[in-house]
Amino acid sequence: MSRQVLLSREARADDSQAHDHGTHDIAPDLAYKRLSVVNVVFLGIPDTPNWLLVDTGIPGSGPAIVKAAQERFGDFPPRGILLTHGHLDHCGSLHALLETWDVPVYAHPLEHPYLTGQAAYPEADPSVGGGGFSLLSPLLSTGPFDFSSHLQALPEDGAFPSRPDFRWIHTPGHTAGHVSFWRERDQTLIAGDAFLTTNQESLFSIFLQTPEMHGPPQPFTPDWPAAADSVRRLRELRPELVVSGHGRAMRGPEMLAALDKLADEFEFIAVPQKGRYLNDPANAANGKAYRQRR
């Protein structure tokens, strides 16, 4: 029995080439851009002001994000920047972007300690996840970072004033305050790192973006029971289109069948067989306290 849930080319939501670093349109008001190993998402109709940016890539991605945004929306800045979570590959260009755009940054309250310089994430577990870790680890500092001047709470009713069609959903596990974004109208899910559509631990897969339904990145996920629960709740939404933090956007029945398999067999497919956090989920609300306890 295989631990891999591979997806065919037919499940891709865009048909561009594997090494195309452009912005991929996947709905009239939805596009994503692959920056190095991580995706950012543009929510909004081109050439209109009510748009939001989801995540900001690794450090150094700022100019590419601004350029793509200007091509898509002209000189309108985003109404806000949404963070699925505060890992460095998702907030790495936030400082640079805030120098161009003086806009609010939204993240779940449980992520705020890591985004205001108060706490660092639990350390990555180098014993799980395979060969990709050694290459990626320099990119994935656990912080802390301080964006307190722009950080705001997510809207309490779930919907964003500028894009009320999208709601946030708390999907902890990969981090304590991880959120995903959901649009009921066309069953669109922006999953962040709750689950992935490539194997982020395989160098081969990262560079080729081999389509695969995959759990959250193993070395950086401290609470596996919560991660399993989050994937099972997202699967219950029956998404038609999925953009995750890593890998290509995927859509359709094959994608959904793969997500069902991941959810049904999460402990077998996604959870490492050994590792630091397996029997002792990190107190992810306070990574520093966890480290001091060790």
111 is an interface residue for Zn ion by CB under 5 A = no
Name which of residues 128 to 147 contact Zn ion (CB under 5 A).
none
Q: How far is the CB of 30 from Zn ion (least distance, A)?
A: 21
212 is an interface residue for Zn ion by CB under 5 A = no
Instruction: Return the structure tokens found at 71.
Output: 């091509």
Cβ 259 vs Cβ 191: under 8 Å: no
Instruction: Return the structure tokens found at 52.
Output: 């939001």
Closest CA to 40 of 48, 49, 51, 31: 31
Q: How far is the CB of 9 from Zn ion (least distance, A)?
A: 26
Q: How far is the CB of 217 from Zn ion (least distance, A)?
A: 6
Residue of this chain nearest to Zn ion (CB atom): 87
Q: How far is the CB of 245 from Zn ion (least distance, A)?
A: 7
Cβ proximity to Zn ion: between 62 and 122 the closer is 122
Cβ proximity to Zn ion: between 111 and 193 the closer is 193
Interface pick for Zn ion out of 72, 87, 112, 150 (rule CB under 5 A): 87
Closest CA to 170 of 95, 87, 253, 85: 85
193 is an interface residue for Zn ion by CB under 5 A = yes
Q: How far is the CB of 220 from Zn ion (least distance, A)?
A: 5
Ranges of beta strands (E only) in the chain are 5-6, 23-27, 30-35, 38-43, 52-54, 80-82, 105-107, 151-153, 159-160, 163-170, 179-183, 188-192, 212-213, 241-244, 250-251
Q: In DSSP terms, which residues pair with 275 in a beta bridge? A: none
Footprint of Zn ion (CB under 5 A): 87, 193
